[in-house]
Structures are given as structure tokens and as C-alpha cells.
């Protein structure tokens, strides 16, 4: 875990701009249903601080009343209080949980929150105003992307303004339908089968094999007390526990594809069953899913924990 010398080294690395145009990223999340969404948002802030991407907005598919205030609180902590946040447009059965948000909000001062615009409205505005093509990291349900796709000129806007979607969704190793698909099957089917730009899937089987270490929560976040991410993790389950990194893997692949942490399958298509099962069909198509070499687990977990626990760069 991070000692003082490693933290100093990490902060020095933060100040080195890698010298390329940072990818604009939209984080589309069901924040609150699992702790990995919070860790993934922390990672995207860290990667933005490093100049490797530019987080331009967060859109929600969890309609719990604490979701918008919680995301705004996290954004404030990382120095981006003005980052646009879009509210979920519907409450989905089994998809509006509050595993830690209210508890974490109690640990941090919260300014009065103004009403949030609907997520598809924010998504549309961010895409229209971006000078570069955007990468969307989808770690919740497909509700918002389906709403965009089904809106007037939405498919054309996605084609013109989105470079790639990296989705934590599906199960490509067999087994039960994956949660993010099962909660909104119709939207998943629409997006997986009709979205007009490439999609890379980080399936259930990837994050399941990479467990975020409780020791990182206990030691790496102590530069701030209370730390909203550490408080959220502690609230989600009784400590100590290691949690699958489902959403973190999607964020990592979206921003650092050239690092080769994962390999990608051959191209093909993804079909969604009526029960939410996902099936990859190799051949023509621009859908791929991630594959994990077990020998890289230690390296990837080190990267995930370093990025998720990275101190904010105060400007």
C-alpha cells in the first residue's frame, strides 16, 4: 500500500502532462447500487488530474434521491463542483438502491443542491458541445443511452460525437444474466444491438477476478479524514472485505486502452435474451469484450488501487 515515499512519487507523476489531447469522458452510472461505481468515479477524477482524460459529466441511471447529491459531493471533493450531473429518468425495480450514499453524505458538509436536469438532456448537451469525440463509460443500466438512441436525431448524434462506449455489462463466460443488463433488458437490447459506434464490454467475469483490497481502504485514503470514498466503502459492507472491481475495469480500459491491461476479443455482435442473458457472436460487427490474463492480476489491482486512492490535485 502507499507509503509516504510512494505517495510523493505519485504526486510528482501527476504533475507531468503526458502531452496528448485528453479524451473527453462521460460517466454513465447507477451510482449507489454497488461501491464499484464510487471507486470508478474516483479513478476518472484521478485520470483527469493526470491529464489522461477529461471528465466532462456524470449521468445517472439510479433514481434514488441521494444519487445526485452524492455525485455532486464526490465531484466537489475532487475539485470539480461545477461538473454537470444528470438525474435518472425513471425508477427501475431493483435498481434504485442506496448502499452507502446517504451514510457518506452525513460524513461531509453538503451545500444545498439545485435540481438536476434529466440525464439524457445532459448527455445530449455534452455531446453536442464537445469539440472532440467522446468516450462514454457506462457502468449502470442502458437506460440513458437507449433514450438518446430513440430520440429524434439521437442515433446520428451518437454516431457523430461518440468514439467508443466501454460498458460494464454482460456475462461472456456463461452463467446467470448480469445485473446491469437484467434490470433494464429492453434498453440493453436496444443499445447493444443498435448503437452506431463501437462498444467494448467488460463483462461480469472480469471484475469478479479482480478484487479491490480492503487494505487499500484502510491505508491509502488517510490523507483526508473523512474521505468520502473510504467512508462509502465502509458503509457498503462490514469491513474488512474485498470487492469485485467491475466498474473500475471499464474506466481503466476506456482511458488506457493502449496499456494492454486486458486483451479484446475478436469483433462481432452481442445479442440480449428476453431474460437478460448476453451472447457474443463473432464475425461482422464492432462489439468486443475484454479478456483477462490471470498473470496480470497483481499489476492491474495495483494500478486500480493507486488511481482510486490518488489524492486530488488542488488547483
**129 Cβ contact partners less than 8 Å away, ≥ 6 residues apart:** none
Give the tens place of pLDDT for each residue, 272-293.
Answer: 999 999 999 999 999 999 999 9
What is the per-residue pLDDT for 20?
53
Strands, E, within the chain: which ranges? Answer: 23-29, 53-60, 85-86, 134-138, 162-168, 199-202, 211-212, 243-244, 263-264, 268-272, 278-282, 287-291
- Pairing outcome for strands 287-291 and 263-264: antiparallel
When mean pLDDT is compared across 45-49, 109-113, 204-208, 273-277, the lowest value belongs to 109-113
Q: Give the chain's domains with CATH numbers.
A: 4-308 (3.90.245.10)
What is the per-residue pLDDT for 9?
44
Q: Is the pLDDT of residue 13 over 90?
A: no
When mean pLDDT is compared across 2-6, 169-173, 219-223, 227-231, the lowest value belongs to 2-6
Angle formed at CA 53 by CA 48 and CA 56, multiple of 5 degrees:
80
Q: Is the pLDDT of residue 147 over 90?
A: yes
Q: Are 252 and 303 in contact (CB under 8 A)?
A: yes
Q: Are 54 and 84 in contact (CB under 8 A)?
A: no
The mean pLDDT of 91-108, rounded to a whole number, is 94
Q: Is the pLDDT of residue 11 over 90?
A: no
Amino acid at each position: 500500500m502507499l507509503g509516504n515515499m510512494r505517495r510523493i512519487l505519485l504526486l510528482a507523476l501527476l504533475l507531468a502532462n503526458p502531452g496528448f489531447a485528453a479524451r473527453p469522458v462521460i460517466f454513465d452510472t447507477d451510482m449507489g447500487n454497488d461501491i464499484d461505481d464510487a471507486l470508478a468515479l474516483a479513478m476518472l477524477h484521478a485520470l483527469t488530474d493526470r491529464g489522461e482524460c477529461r471528465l466532462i459529466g456524470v449521468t445517472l441511471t439510479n433514481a434514488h434521491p441521494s444519487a445526485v447529491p452524492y455525485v455532486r459531493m464526490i465531484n466537489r471533493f475532487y475539485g470539480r463542483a461545477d461538473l454537470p450531473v444528470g438525474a435518472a429518468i425513471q425508477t427501475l425495480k431493483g435498481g434504485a438502491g442506496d448502499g452507502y450514499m446517504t451514510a457518506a453524505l452525513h460524513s461531509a458538509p453538503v451545500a444545498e443542491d439545485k435540481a438536476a436536469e434529466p440525464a439524457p438532456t445532459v448527455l445530449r448537451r455534452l455531446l453536442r458541445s464537445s469539440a472532440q469525440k467522446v468516450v462514454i463509460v457506462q457502468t449502470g443500466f442502458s437506460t440513458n443511452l437507449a433514450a438518446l438512441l430513440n430520440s429524434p436525431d439521437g442515433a446520428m448524434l451518437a454516431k457523430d460525437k461518440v468514439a467508443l462506449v466501454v460498458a460494464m455489462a454482460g456475462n461472456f463466460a456463461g452463467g446467470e444474466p448480469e445485473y446491469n443488463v437484467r434490470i433494464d433488458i429492453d434498453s440493453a437490447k436496444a443499445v447493444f444491438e443498435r448503437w452506431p459506434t463501437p462498444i467494448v464490454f467488460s463483462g461480469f467475469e472480469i471484475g469478479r477476478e479482480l478484487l479491490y483490497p480492503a487494505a487499500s481502504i484502510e491505508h491509502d485514503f488517510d490523507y483526508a479524514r473523512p474521505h468520502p470514498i473510504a467512508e462509502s466503502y465502509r458503509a457498503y459492507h462490514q469491513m474488512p472485505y474485498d470487492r469485485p472491481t467491475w466498474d473500475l475495469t471499464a474506466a481503466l480500459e476506456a482511458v488506457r486502452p493502449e496499456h494492454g491491461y486486458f486483451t479484446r476479443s475478436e469483433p462481432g455482435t452481442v445479442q440480449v435474451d428476453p431474460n437478460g442473458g448476453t451472447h457474443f457472436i463473432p464475425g461482422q460487427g464492432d462489439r468486443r469484450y475484454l479478456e483477462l490474463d490471470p498473470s496480470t492480476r497483481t499489476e492491474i489491482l495495483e494500478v486500480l488501487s493507486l488511481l482510486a486512492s490518488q489524492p486530488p490535485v488542488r488547483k
